[in-house]
Amino acid sequence: MKLLRLVLNVLLPLALSALLSGCGNRANLQVGLNDADANEIVTLLTRYGIEAQKVATKDGVTLTVNADDIARATTAMQAAGLPRRALSDLGQIFKKDSMISTPLEERARYIHGLSAELESTLQQFDNVISARVHVVLPERIAPGEPVQPSSAAVFIKYHDTVDEDTLIPRIRQLVASSIPGLAGESGRAKVSVVMAASVYTVPVIEWSNVGPFRVQAGSAMALSMTLLGLALLMALMLIGLLFALCRYHPGLAAWIKSHFGKPPAFSAGNTTEQEPA
């Protein structure tokens, strides 16, 4: 019984601590997401071997990852332009919040809604991470002065696999056709496009072998401690089973004692030396 108490007092806490240390701490990566953005981020992180979990809250969806993966997950999201900036469509822009709107408010809403619609469309191009569009509509600065013509400025952030020579004319054509006063070749010339390649690179995943398992280097220690904890628990179960069998089966206890019991102490008085013949 003393041995059993020793096992329970020493090995059991060690096994539990090993199991607990194998459980990685979770940290919040993003909060207040909608379900579509959360699914897009989870899909992205899965491709990089990062496990992300969705937790529904009253403020939206919260994404959690292992605390050791926060840096890689953030870099991967920045490289992909996620989560995407929330864009308002024309229906939301022109939603009436008051009885009377001034012409200046109506003009600002229209320009903002037009820019948001163009940004949303430009983000549908392959390998485009994010897009910003700044629209200038015809406006008379002061009485008697000529009307300022329409123009537009477009900023595109993209992955380095984009062919700028092919994409820029298509962007100019799309934007010029969507803004009043920019039709024709002269209108396309008033659309300036700035392209910028993403400089974010996701760190390469380092792998490590733990016995027959191949895991990420950051998870190797956690897996080792988990396996150690399982081995200690199995040893505890076997020792407990052995003590139970010995208690209820005296014959088995006698057999174990006869084969594995403590050998008698050596004493010179209990032995006789044989004289050589």
Can you give the three-state secondary structure of the chain, one letter per residue?
Answer: CHHHHHHHHHHHHHHHHHHHHHCCCEEEEEEEECHHHHHHHHHHHHHCCCCEEEEEECCEEEEEEEHHHHHHHHHHHHHHCCCCCCCCCHHHHCCCCCCCCCHHHHHHHHHHHHHHHHHHHHCCCCCEEEEEEEEECCEECCCCCCEECCEEEEEEEECCCCCHHHHHHHHHHHHHHHCCCCCHHHHHCCEEEEEEECCCCCCCCCEEEECCEEEEHHHHHHHHHHHHHHHHHHHHHHHHHHHHHHHHCHHHHHHHHHHHCCCCCCCHHHCCCCCCC
CATH of span 24-80:
3.30.70.1530
Q: Cα(262)–Cα(27) distance, rounded to whole angstroms?
A: 53
Integer distance in angstroms from the first to the last C-alpha of the chain?
51
Of 12 and 192, more confident: 192
Per cent of the chain over pLDDT 90 is 12
Q: Give 268's pLDDT tier (boundaries 50, 70, 90).
A: very low
Of 270 and 254, more confident: 254
Residue 132 near residue 154 (C-beta atoms within 8 A): yes
Q: Cα(232)–Cα(227) distance, rounded to whole angstroms?
A: 9
Q: Using DSSP bridges, classify how beta strands 52-57 and 139-140 pair: parallel, antiparallel or unpaired.
A: unpaired
CATH of 90-198, one of 3.30.1540.20, 2.30.31.10, 3.30.300.30, 3.30.70.260: 3.30.300.30
Q: Cα(257)–Cα(264) distance, rounded to whole angstroms?
A: 12
174, burial (CB in 10 Å: exposed 0-12, middle 13-18, buried 19+)? middle
Q: Cα–Cα–Cα angle for 81, 59, 68, nearest 5°? A: 55
| Average pLDDT over every residue of 81-96 | 62
Residue type, position 40, single letter? E
Contacts of 237 (CB under 8 A, 6+ apart): none
* Tens of pLDDT, residues 19-46: 555 455 888 888 888 888 889 888 888 8
Contacts of 10 (CB under 8 A, 6+ apart): none
Q: Give 93's pLDDT tier (boundaries 50, 70, 90).
A: low
Q: Cα(163)–Cα(126) distance, rounded to whole angstroms?
A: 11
Q: Across the strands, what pairs with 207?
A: 216
Q: Give 204's pLDDT tier (boundaries 50, 70, 90).
A: low
Domain chopping of the chain, boundaries? 24-80, 90-198, 207-260
